[in-house]
Amino acid sequence: MLSYFLKFSANCILRLILDKSPSMITFKRLITALCFTAFSVNAASNEQFNSGSIESEKNLIESNSNQLKFSQLSTLDGLSSSNVFGITQDHQGFIWFATEDGLNRFDGNNFVIYKHNANNKHSIADNVIRKIFIDSKNTLWVGTENGLSRYNFELDNFDNFKSKVNDDSSLKDDVGISIKTKTIYQKKN
């Protein structure tokens, strides 16, 4: 049956090529033939799939038995805010949450919350965290409302980058990221 529709489609295409002014009926036949061919190929592939080996069906069933499990984390679990702007996981397995009330690090059981402390120049730049990003060197970058912070894994603190007047090498404004795009970029070499 499939070969008939393929021959019919080929016949319609040849007519279109040979006719200098093909009729509308020829176009309709071609469209009808192509639809029938597509449905026939689809039906043939479904039949082949359904008559496939029991082994492939067994593999599908086995893979479905390993279902993913999700759990929800909230402020009741220690998250500093329910407004989360970003989530990432570092090379050590910690999960980081960018929230409107601090940066949260989760080890699978407990949260550590990093907040700005005006008396500590190595605290995070601001409590409103808009974006978090881990670069190719496993450095965690944190975009805040008041600058960009780089996390130091060894010292468990931050180096902050802010806008400085008349300094072209500093940030262009006091926002570590573009609030409109909420993006931190990594330059590719």
Domain boundary among 65, 94, 120: 65
Residues 47 and 90 in one domain: no
Mean pLDDT of the chain: 74
Residues 25 and 89 in one domain: no
Tell me whether residue 173 is in a domain: no
Residues spanned by the domain of 35: 2-65
Residues 151 and 89 in one domain: yes
Across the beta sheet with 111-114, the strand order is 84-89, 95-99, 102-106, 111-114
pTM: 0.58
Most confident of 42-46, 65-69, 157-161, 181-185: 157-161
Give pLDDT tens digits for 3-29: 554 555 555 565 655 555 556 665 566
DSSP string across the chain: -HHHHHHHHHHHHHHHHH-SS--HHHHHHHHHHHHHHHHHHHHHHHHHHHTS-HHHHHHHHHHHHS--------GGGT-S-S-EEEEEE-TTS-EEEEETTEEEEE-SS-EEEE---TT-TTS-S-S-EEEEEE-TT--EEEEETTEEEEEETTTTEEEEE-B-TT-TTSBSSS-SS-TTT--------
